[in-house]
């Protein structure tokens, strides 16, 4: 087994499947993710956004992942997800994170390229094998349940700008806006543009494509997105929903219980089910 994320990204690209990426903000969610991946023999990324790192602790997240990786002997890669500044990117890189997403999607194209290139250059000088991801285009929404999100035409990533972006930054991965949103919507339909994914993939060549906002998407849409060129799929909100619903049910069943692991074990089980479903959907089973 290799511990290189680049190896598995290339393997996914040539094999026509996608690497899973699951976010966590507590040890219970991470355990559910790792146990499911171990049982299904799937390589994977786990991520912590700036908000998740602030809650859990960036160093604590790194130590937790390292401990689980060693215990389960699993190709488990930690990503500093949605990092907004060079300073926060440097912090994660210095701690030994395997990947960093520098998210300059709210900046102008010129500013986004400038920031992303600085992170790439600095990261690769510290660790040539680290994965650096950039984001281009605007993804609306947040990692929670929302009623309606309107995706506008100007949100979409332009293939020619994607080509310019990857050539000038040398990122390993690119997260485009192709109709996807963060979170789950209940009163509008999330529609991916598979033609746009394919067009962007053609323009960026060997650079891998990442689909953010995978929660709530239809199964067939995920499959078609992978066929069109997506190599990594992010899931966060569906795990949060599974965790919260299972915790509420467990506490309602055991109203006098005060020992956390007595009710959290069932919570881990429910999150684990969701993780397993996504791993099978992405086609990463038995890829170790």
Active site residues: 81
Burial class of 225 by CB neighbour count within 10 A (0 to 12, 13 to 18, 19+): buried
**What is the C-alpha to C-alpha distance for residues 118 and 6, in angstroms, rounded to an integer?**
20
**Gyration radius of the chain over CA positions:** 18
CA angle 272, 273, 275 (to 5 degrees): 65
């Amino acid at each position: 087994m290799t511990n290189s994320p680049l190896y598995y990204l290339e393997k996914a690209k040539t094999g026509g499947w996608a690497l899973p990426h699951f976010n966590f903000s507590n040890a219970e969610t991470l355990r559910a993710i790792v146990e499911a991946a171990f049982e299904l023999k799937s390589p994977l990324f786990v991520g912590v956004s700036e908000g998740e790192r602030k809650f859990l602790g960036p160093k604590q997240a790194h130590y937790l992942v390292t401990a689980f990786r060693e215990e389960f002997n699993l190709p488990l890669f930690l990503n500093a997800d949605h990092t907004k500044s060079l300073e926060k990117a440097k912090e994660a890189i210095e701690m030994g994170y395997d990947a960093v997403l520098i998210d300059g999607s709210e900046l102008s194209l010129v500013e986004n390229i400038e920031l992303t290139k600085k992170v790439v250059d600095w990261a690769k000088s510290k660790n040539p094998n680290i994965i650096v991801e950039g984001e281009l285009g605007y993804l609306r929404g947040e990692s929670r349940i929302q009623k309606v999100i309107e995706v506008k035409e100007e949100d979409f990533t332009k293939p020619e700008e994607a080509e310019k972006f990857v050539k000038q930054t040398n990122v390993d991965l690119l997260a485009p806006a192709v109709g996807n949103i963060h979170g789950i919507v209940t009163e509008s339909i999330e529609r991916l543009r598979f033609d746009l994914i394919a067009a962007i993939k053609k323009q960026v060549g060997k650079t891998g494509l990442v689909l953010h906002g995978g929660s709530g998407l239809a199964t067939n849409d995920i499959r078609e997105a992978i066929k069109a060129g997506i190599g990594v799929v992010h899931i966060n909100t569906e795990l949060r929903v599974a965790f919260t619903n299972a915790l509420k049910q467990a506490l309602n069943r055991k109203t006098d219980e005060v020992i956390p692991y007595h009710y959290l074990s069932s919570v881990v089980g429910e999150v684990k089910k969701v993780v397993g479903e996504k791993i099978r959907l992405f086609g990463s089973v038995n890829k170790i």
